[in-house]
Structure 1
Amino acid sequence: MEQFGAPQHLIDEVKQDQVIEILPMNWSVVIWFNEVCDLMRYRHDGACLGFDLVQIQTESQMNQREFTKKEFNGLRTMSKAAARTINKVDA
């Protein structure tokens, strides 16, 4: 980063350890999100639209993944949050 001229305060921020606490009841959704995070949809202008739910359904069938309605809703919530973050939307 230094070679590309990044300011020192940004370099220091990136190097900091970040701790994220995950409640045990959410662990399966976080693992699932991590496994399918490449199935996001994007508009032609690069804006993230969240998960492609048809691909999520296909992935689940192909991998014989079983999930509850609560887990599916949790995955959708994470998808929306990820899209807002990718699109830099404060909502």
Structure 2
Amino acid sequence: MAKLGVTPPVAKEPEPFEFWDEHQSAVEWFIQVQDLMRYQYGAGIAICEGLDVLAVKADAEMSGREFEAEDYLKLRLIGNEVARLTNEKLNNRAS
């Protein structure tokens, strides 16, 4: 790229973040099921609907995951926030 006179952008280091130990199991669970987010696509639009709860349930049953109801509520909260942030990005891109 330098030979073409193009300077590549400098990648910024991601900001570190902390989470409380009591949220660790929900965060780890989300990392494992993040590919189970649902999307709707239309003419020039995409919307993230959040986690596919039935797919998460099936995944938990088939993998033998043991969890507390509180972990599930935290997982839903994480999924909702990820969907909200994703939709903000999608809407900003479409504008």
TM-score between both structures, scaled by the size of structure 2: 0.77
Which residue is 2:22 aligned to? Answer: 25
Percent of aligned pairs with the same amino acid: 30
What is the deviation of 1:16? Answer: 2.4
* AA aligned opposite 1:74: K
> Given the alignment of the two structures, is residue 88 of structure 1 paired with residue 85 of structure 2, yes or no?
no
Larger C-alpha radius of gyration, 1 or 2?
2
Which residue is 1:70 aligned to? Answer: 70
What is the deviation of 1:44? Answer: 1.8
Unpaired runs of 5+ residues, structure 2, are 90-95
The 2-side partners of 1:15 and 1:29 are apart by 28
Unpaired runs of 5+ residues, structure 1, are none
Which residue is 2:57 aligned to? Answer: 57
* AA aligned opposite 1:64: G
TM-score between both structures, scaled by the size of structure 1: 0.80
Q: Which has the higher strand share?
A: 2
Q: Tell me the secondary structure at the aligned position of residue 33 of structure 1.
A: helix
